[in-house]
Structure formats: structure tokens, C-alpha cells
Amino acid sequence: MDHKTIKDKLTFVKTDKLIVSLLGVAVLLLTGFIFYDYYTPEWKQYQSEFRDLVEEKLGPERAAVAPSGLQQVYVKELNKADRCITCHQGVEWKGLENAPEPFRTHPKEILEKHPIAQFGCTSCHGGQGYATDMQPAHGLVEHWEEPMLGKELGDFYVLSDKKALMQMNCNTCHRYDKETKGAGYINRAKQLVHDKGCRACHVINGRGGTVGPDLTWEGDKSAEQFNYERIKGFHSEFTWHTAHFKNPKESVAETVMPNFNFSSMDAQSLSMLVMSWKKTNLPIEYIPNHNVRDIPTPAEIEKEKQMSEGPGAFFVKKNCFVCHSVSTLEIDAAAQIGPDLAFAVEDVQSRFGRTLDDFLMRPTGTMEVVLSTMITLTEEERKEAIEKLRHAYELKKQERESKK
């Protein structure tokens, strides 16, 4: 070994040492930074931005009183501790109406009717109240069943009003309202339930027929309880209901639920409505109109009384009038689900190729379900129905003759 190579080696070891120690310092700094980042929660960053924003817009005195540290609204009655205001600090401040989120002043009118101290945030918005990072708080994470009903989810379900999903939560409290200002989709759906006569086949709030399942607590069913074999795309309760409303037979081949030819928006509105029908353990003062419930209007009661004393009384007594008018016997259907029975004699013949007698003795389709689940008729009563329908048809023929 000559002198030169030893010297070379020594200098090499020296630079080696330098590099190693520099690397050591770098690793230390990096770990420090990772720890710092890890232990500095997102919300601290938002709070410091909030203070800067307030200082810029409203002056240093206001900035000095901006709260710092974890913030929460605790509502004992609802058993909620919502920490959303840790980031959404501007909710109740004046003058931040145009600030970016999460700092913007909250739309005012809705909070006047629902003070934050009594309602928190998640009773309307959904989300995970006690979480303090954005993703978990907004609830778009696994194992959280109530994601925030906001823009992201609205986008996902292709709603034309991206923020409309929140109306589901409005209606868990407002279910007994005929109409709720600010819940347009739900109001539309309530109108459809009335106009289309869903109650002919479904019990809703304790009133209605039993051909289909009771819908009073439909919103408590979980996504796993539906059959998705025939549903295209993403599988969720919302997509199941929307597809089912658009065409019941496509989801449930043997169903007797009619296809009402709903538009996408109507189908979505109805999905939101039926999903809002959840049991809650809210104190009664949180449920507006809880004492009104769903009782028939005086006009409805009067009309039923009139019909039940007229020539078509049989069809009222036996609840046929829920779905059928019998025009010549002065029976008006509560909902036009089935055809006007004044034509039944000729109509059954032309539609089913059978006599009315044969049809009512051995019904098929919807009437088979109706007469085996909802209405029981003895053989005598079936004969009575046939006789009455013949009479109704005679009157119809006379009516036609006299018009000629």
C-alpha cells in the first residue's frame, strides 16, 4: 500500500462523515416537520386564516375576539355535540356574507327559525358532528352512515339542485307539514303522494291500504334490505327508490305498483320523501304540527258519507272506491288507480277476453292481489258486485243512447 492511497482513503472517510451527519440533520428536520404537521390539526390553519380575514375585513378589534381552540355546540335535547364551528367560525358573524367557505356568514332566515343553540348543525346538514378534520366531519368516509347532505353527494346523485338532499333531514322533523318553506322537492313529493293516491295501496302515518308495504317508517330500512339485481349503476337506497319509482316492474318484476311515468326529478323527490320517513327520538317540541297528523279533511269525510248512502254504497263499504270510480253510481275514486267500473262489463271482455263474472270470480293482476290481501269478498258479495256493475253498465248505455 503506498502513501498516496492511504491519504486518499482518509480524505474519503472525512467527506463520508460529513455527508452522513448532513443526512442525519436532514432526517431529523423531516421527522420534525412530519410530527409538526401531524400534530397541527387542519382546523388551526383555518382559524388562523379566519383571524387574518376578519382583521382585513372588519378590523383588528374584531379579529382579537375571534374564538380559538376547539369550538362546539352542545344540544342536550338532541344529544348532539357539533364541532363544525371550529372551522365554520363565521356562521353567526355579520359582514362575512361574501367570504369563502368555511368562513361565510350562514344564510340568516333559516337560523332565525332554528337557533343553533337548539338545533346544532348536523340535524339539518348531516355529517359527523364531533369530527374536527374536514373529510370525516363532512362524513364522506367509510363507516359513517349519515354523510353530509351537501353539494358533493348531490353531484353524485345528479340532482339538478345540488343542495336539495338536505331536505330529507328537514322532513324528519317536518313530516306532518302539508308544505314546508325551503323544501321544494319534498313539497312536490307530498303533492304527488296525494294526487296519485299512494294511500290506496300503502299505509302512511297509520292510514291507507295494505296491497303494498307500510311506508310510515320506510326511511329506517337500510341499503342492504333492497334487491339490486336489476338496478344499473351505483347501489344505494336512493338509487333503488329512484329506479323503482321510474318503473316499478323493472326493479320488482311481479309488482302491481303502477308505473306513473314520473320524470327524473319527481322520482328523486319521492325518493327523498320516503327516505325521510324515519323514526326519531326527538322531543315532541322539535316536531312541528305533531298534533295535526294526517287526518282526512272535513270535505273528504263529507264526500265519503254522501257516497256511502247513495246507489253505489256497496263500493264504498267494500273500499273499491279507493281505486275505482263508478261514474253512473255517483262514486268518485279517492285516487284513479283502476278504471271507471261503469264500463267494466264491456271493458273486461275486450281487455281480458273474459266475462266480468269470470274475472271477479278468478281475478288476475292487481285485482288478484287486492282480493287476496286487502279486501275479502264472499261468493255472495262477488255476485252482488257483478250485479251492481251490470246495473252501472246499463245506466252507462242509456246515457250514451240519450246523447245520440
Cβ at position 361, least distance to ligand HEC in Å: 11
Q: Which of 156, 288, 311, 357 touches ligand HEC by CB under 6 A?
A: 288
Strand-pair partners of 80: 75
The 10 Å CB-count burial string (b at 16+, else e) for 195-224 is ebbbbbbbebeeebbebbeebbebbebeee
Tell me which stretch binds ligand HEC (CB under 6 A): 6-14, 27-35, 110-118, 294-302: 110-118
Q: Which of 75, 159, 307, 322 touches ligand HEC by CB under 6 A?
A: 322
Instruction: Give dist(CA 139, CA 307) in Å, integer.
Output: 53
Size of the site for ligand HEC (CB under 6 A): 99
Tell me which stretch binds ligand HEC (CB under 6 A): 18-26, 229-237, 314-322, 395-403: 314-322
Told to check if 184 binds ligand HEC by CB under 6 A, we report no
- Binding residues among 152-171 for ligand HEC as defined by CB under 6 A: 152, 163, 166, 169-170
Told to check if 180 binds ligand HEC by CB under 6 A, we report yes
Q: Which of 66, 121, 272, 316 touches ligand HEC by CB under 6 A?
A: 121
- Binding residues among 325-364 for ligand HEC as defined by CB under 6 A: 337-339, 341, 343-344, 347-348, 351, 359-360
Tell me which stretch binds ligand HEC (CB under 6 A): 24-32, 134-142, 298-306, 394-402: 134-142
- Binding residues among 19-38 for ligand HEC as defined by CB under 6 A: none
Q: Which of 328, 385, 393, 396 touches ligand HEC by CB under 6 A?
A: 385
- Binding residues among 267-286 for ligand HEC as defined by CB under 6 A: 270, 274, 282, 286
